[in-house]
Structure 1
Amino acid sequence: MPIKIPNDLPARTTLEAEGVMVMREAEAVRQDIRPLKIALLNLMPNKIKTETQFARLLGATPLQVELTLVKITNHVARNTPSDHMISFYRDWEDVQSEKFDGFIATGAPVETLPFEQVTYWDELRRIFDWTQTHVHASFNICWGAQAAVHHFHGMPKYDLPQKAFGVYRHRNLEPASPYLRGFSDDFSIPVSRWTEVHRDDIPPASGIKVLMESDEAGLCLLDDPAHRSLHMFNHIEYDSGSLAEEYFRDRNADAPIALPRNYFPHDDPTRQPENRWRSHAHLLFGNWINQLYQTTPFDLADVGRK
């Protein structure tokens, strides 16, 4: 089954050109099936690109997925046209009475700030608590993952001496995990962050399992069953050119930025980077959605009930 998104969302044209099946409302209602309802809290600056990245991964499964785009209440996006936000996004305060099978919180360009200095930190904490009663399972990405483990487990983040930036090899530490079904023992994932969390800060009684880790880039993916959450500290959803865009943006702005590691062929930024993580990105999200489908209540009203 395809993904169901608003007819005029810019991601639709891109996904259809890539061969991703996209469903219109009229087609969806004809199918005698309950779609998986997934909300995307998009905290990234380029919201249109981020929508497309996640819709691509969510739409590559055999299940019908209905995507709801969510934003922080009253937060004004500076890098996305206001008409786009008005047309396609809903404030969290307007959806908090609803229930969802899945919830994704993205990264955000605030990672060097202490959590408490982020202007929407209080609302984000309420959102994390809300997921425990209104969402069956969550998937937190990059800063969103750091924020979640800080909120739920008190884990701090640490500034890095220089940006972890590039495509790094990672190890599959839990091959039996349903989320890593079909994964190689060794695979590559894009990394782009100025901070990190440490394995030693995982509370012993938390029940957290480390699923992916890199010798160079550290922790990558945690399974947090007590909060029905995955925490991914890197950007497995990135497009082939995402790191290049960040690199040239910062270089043109005379910001301190090193060449992303293991990314451009022969470290030549004039050459087209090769995507070595796309298949594992689809596999991870496919496994997550399959787990949602296998475990979520048929009646959404039962989500969050003990």
Structure 2
Amino acid sequence: MPICVKEGLPAIETLAREDIFIMTEKRAIHQDIRVLNLLIVNLMPTVIATETQLLRLLSNTALQLNIEFLKISDQLTGDKTADHFKQFYHSFKEIKNNHYDGIIITGAPVEKQEFEAVAYWQELCDVLEWAKTHVFSSLYICWGAQAALYYHYGIKKSVPSAKISGVCAYDVNNRRHPIVRGFDDFFYAPHSHYTAIAREDVLTIPQLEILAESSEAGVYLISDITNRQLFVTGHCEYDRVTLKNEYIRDYLQGLKPDVPKNYQLKGELGISDQTTWSSHATLLFANWLNYYVYQQTPYHLKELSF
């Protein structure tokens, strides 16, 4: 949220140079405030758990949010999930005439497939194209980030020699960027994926900036230069038991997974329920809502300009 102070306060000039949003009394009195409208495209197999994780992070703001969920028609669902989607999710046809302040597109369990081979790829492309004119800011997570980078910029995913799973430390590249405001010099975030985005491919696109990365797990945060698109290659929304549950699932299926890095083992299957990334995740979502959405989106969403 912006800080409201009297005009002429000496600190205003210093804070403005740090890109901190200061609102004078005059502007505060005349500003229009409304609910922010967000759309979540949930492609994760753990549907309800992912909803809970995202809503937990989005709730850490003083802003009032109106949140809707979008189901892609060709997502694979079980009987229970189908009923849940029917009750709580919209189809693209139902919302395509709406406008939103922000959209979140999650990861998906399809990363080993070529993008065009994914059953719902064309509909997802329709959503990505529609968002250009109907959504102010976009936040993409894991496979959702890979898909959006491919669709918007032609960046292909790479295949590491082994699955990247665990918690990695990341360095902040540009401390003046608003999305990393308040971050420490390095922070932790969880990963769980078989494919990745190569640093050198991102650097070929002048519209993109790498904001955080590590020598161990590669690129983590990417933003476009307009601060309208944010790509998060990991799973900062994961709660303390998600990596543990994924490891146990794969272990019981006989896949012989590697133990997630920086996760403590207790016994054969008992990975400790620890978290070293929740503060980063909370701050990342708060910064996105504040700097990418609230402070930039027009009061009347139909006046979106691109």
Q: Report deviation, 1:205.
A: 4.6
Say if 1:149 and 1:79 are closer, same or farther in 2 by CA, change over 3 A.
farther
Check the 8 A contact 2:70/2:89 in 1, yes or no.
Answer: yes
Q: Report deviation, 1:206.
A: 3.0
Partner Cα separation in structure 1 for residue 149 and residue 280 of structure 2: 24
Q: Report deviation, 1:76.
A: 4.3
Q: Counterpart amino acid of 2:45? A: P
For 1:236, the equivalent position in structure 2 comes to: 236
Q: What SS does the corresponding residue of 2:131 show, helix, strand or coil?
A: helix
Matches within 5 A, 1:37-76: 37-76=37-76
Q: Deviations over 1:5-56 (max 9, x none)?
A: xxxxxxxxxxxxxxxxxxxxxxxxxxx9521101000000011000000001
Q: What SS does the corresponding residue of 2:68 show, helix, strand or coil?
A: strand
Q: What SS does the corresponding residue of 1:40 show, helix, strand or coil?
A: strand
Partner Cα separation in structure 1 for residue 113 and residue 195 of structure 2: 10
Say if 1:267 and 1:281 are closer, same or farther in 2 by CA, change over 3 A.
farther
For 2:294, the equivalent position in structure 1 comes to: 293
Q: Deviations over 1:198-228 (max 9, x none)?
A: 1111253532110110110001110013582
Matches within 5 A, 1:98-177: 98-177=98-177
Q: What SS does the corresponding residue of 1:201 show, helix, strand or coil?
A: helix
Runs of at least 5 residues in structure 1 that lack an aligned partner in the other structure: 2-31
Q: What SS does the corresponding residue of 2:156 show, helix, strand or coil?
A: coil
Q: What SS does the corresponding residue of 2:160 show, helix, strand or coil?
A: strand
Runs of at least 5 residues in structure 2 that lack an aligned partner in the other structure: 2-31
Q: Counterpart amino acid of 1:294? A: Q
Say if 1:196 and 1:39 are closer, same or farther in 2 by CA, change over 3 A.
same
For 1:27, the equivalent position in structure 2 comes to: none
For 2:12, the equivalent position in structure 1 comes to: none
Which moves more between the two structures, 257-266 or 162-171?
257-266
Q: Deviations over 1:47-101 (max 9, x none)?
A: 1000000001111101001110111035442385322111100012211110000
Q: What SS does the corresponding residue of 1:162 show, helix, strand or coil?
A: coil
Q: Deviations over 1:128-165 (max 9, x none)?
A: 11111000000000000000001111111112221100
Q: Report deviation, 1:272.
A: 2.3
Partner Cα separation in structure 2 for residue 230 and residue 202 of structure 1: 13
Query: In angstroms, what is the RMSD of aligned CA positions?
Result: 1.9
Q: Report deviation, 1:299.
A: 0.8
Say if 1:104 and 1:120 are closer, same or farther in 2 by CA, change over 3 A.
same
Q: Counterpart amino acid of 1:102? A: G
Say if 1:79 and 1:259 are closer, same or farther in 2 by CA, change over 3 A.
farther
Partner Cα separation in structure 2 for residue 267 and residue 112 of structure 1: 31
Q: What SS does the corresponding residue of 1:296 show, helix, strand or coil?
A: coil
- TM-score calculated relative to the size of structure 2: 0.85
Say if 1:66 and 1:249 are closer, same or farther in 2 by CA, change over 3 A.
same
The alignment of Structure 1 onto Structure 2 pairs a total of residues equal to 275
Say if 1:80 and 1:140 are closer, same or farther in 2 by CA, change over 3 A.
farther
Which moves more between the two structures, 85-94 or 222-231?
222-231
Runs of at least 4 residues off by over 4 Å: 265-269
Q: Counterpart amino acid of 1:149? A: L
Percent identity between the two aligned chains:
39
Partner Cα separation in structure 1 for residue 86 and residue 198 of structure 2: 39
Check the 8 A contact 1:45/1:80 in 2, yes or no.
Answer: no
- TM-score calculated relative to the size of structure 1: 0.85
Check the 8 A contact 2:166/2:191 in 1, yes or no.
Answer: yes
Q: Report deviation, 1:271.
A: 4.9
Q: Deviations over 1:203-256 (max 9, x none)?
A: 535321101101100011100135821010000010000000000000001113
Q: What SS does the corresponding residue of 1:161 show, helix, strand or coil?
A: coil
For 1:278, the equivalent position in structure 2 comes to: 278
For 1:246, the equivalent position in structure 2 comes to: 246
